[in-house]
Amino acid sequence: MVKNKIKTALVTGAASGLGYELALLLAKDAYNLILIDKDSEGLNEAKINIQKTYNTEVSLLIKDLGTINIADEIYNEIKDFTLDVVVNNAGFGMFGTFYETDWQRESEMLQLHILTTTHLIKLILPDMVKRGSGKILNLSSLAAFQPGPMMALYYASKSYLLSFSQAISNELKGTGVTVTVLCPGPTKTSFQEVVSEKTTKNKISFNMACPKDVAAYGYKAMHNGRVVAIPGLFNKFLSVLPRMLTRNRTTKIVRKIQDKNRDS
């Protein structure tokens, strides 16, 4: 009898929200897990909850992905694993006018969304291509499709992830490796608390999706080899709206939505 190959998946930002829900789906499909987050307490709780239900190995890495050169550090710890799936989920946002927001926090966000994610893929991808198999799921956002006043750098960084994912997906055709970029709208996760600094002000309250549903949608899209995955008909409409209107008009609409979608 031929034994089934042990599959391994890496998930960043796995302590809660979409990362945790995606880790659950992977565990259900018998993947061993490498979970990464800076929230050690939340990550340990995630491991306990996963192993209550699924007989899978779960390794934890407590890392702040917003720090410089963290991708090298992570890769040195995981390079002996054969990674079948990599989920780049970790991320956060900030709300406010660019000239007033905190640069230190913003630089950490850019490091996480752009440099760390890109570098980690750069390190992991050659191994996937060499063996002719692998799946990468990058978490972008509906924000990727237009400029976003009051969250300017967040929108811009998510736009980068969308463009980057689409480009390397094209490069990887015929290699056996696929890249999927998931672009959800507002989702009920701890992300909203981070954006609003845990106050009721600035929390998005409209078009809020369930993280389980979003994770399931993205997970299916990844396994089907889809490049861009946008859950929800209304979100799909919003994603094409910038093609119908001028860039300036779209930016004004986004600003109005930002203002109206947040509690006073």
| Sequential DSSP letters for the chain | -PPPPPEEEEEESTTSHHHHHHHHHHHHTTEEEEEEES-HHHHHHHHHHHHHH----EEEEE--TTSTTHHHHHHHHHTTS--SEEEE-------S-TTTS-HHHHHHHHIIIIIIHHHHHHHHHHHHHHHT-EEEEEE--GGGGS--TTSHHHHHHHHHHHHHHHHHHHHTTTTTEEEEEE---SBSSTHHHHHHTTSSTT-B-SSPBPHHHHHHHHHHHHHTT-SEE--SHHHHHHHHHHHHS-HHHHHHHHHHHHHHTB--
Q: Which two tokens stand for residue 91?
A: 């991320």
Cβ contacts of residue 99 below 8 Å, gap of 6+? none
What pLDDT score was predicted for residue 264?
44
Give how far Cα 164 sits from Cα of 65, 69, 160, 161, 176, Å: 19, 20, 6, 5, 18
Give CA 121 to chain center in angstroms. 13
Q: Which two tokens stand for residue 242?
A: 């910038």
Cα 157 to Cα 35: distance, rounded to the nearest angstrom:
23
Reading the chain (264 residues) residue by residue, the pLDDT tens digits are 334 578 999 999 999 999 999 999 999 999 999 999 999 999 999 999 999 999 999 999 999 999 999 999 999 999 999 999 999 999 999 999 999 999 999 999 999 999 999 999 999 999 999 999 999 999 999 999 999 999 999 999 999 999 999 999 999 999 999 999 999 988 776 554 445 444 444 454 555 679 999 999 999 999 999 999 999 888 888 878 777 777 777 787 777 777 776 654
Total-model pTM: 0.88
Looking at domain 7-260, does it have CATH number 3.40.190.10?
Answer: no
What are the boundaries of each domain within the chain?
7-260
What pLDDT score was predicted for residue 199?
45
Residue 11: name the closest of 103, 139, 126 by CA. 139
Q: Classify strands 85-88 and 7-12 as parallel, antiparallel or unpaired.
A: parallel
Cα 180 to Cα 225: distance, rounded to the nearest angstrom:
7
Q: Which two tokens stand for residue 225?
A: 């080899």
Residue 207: name the closest of 180, 227, 236 by CA. 236
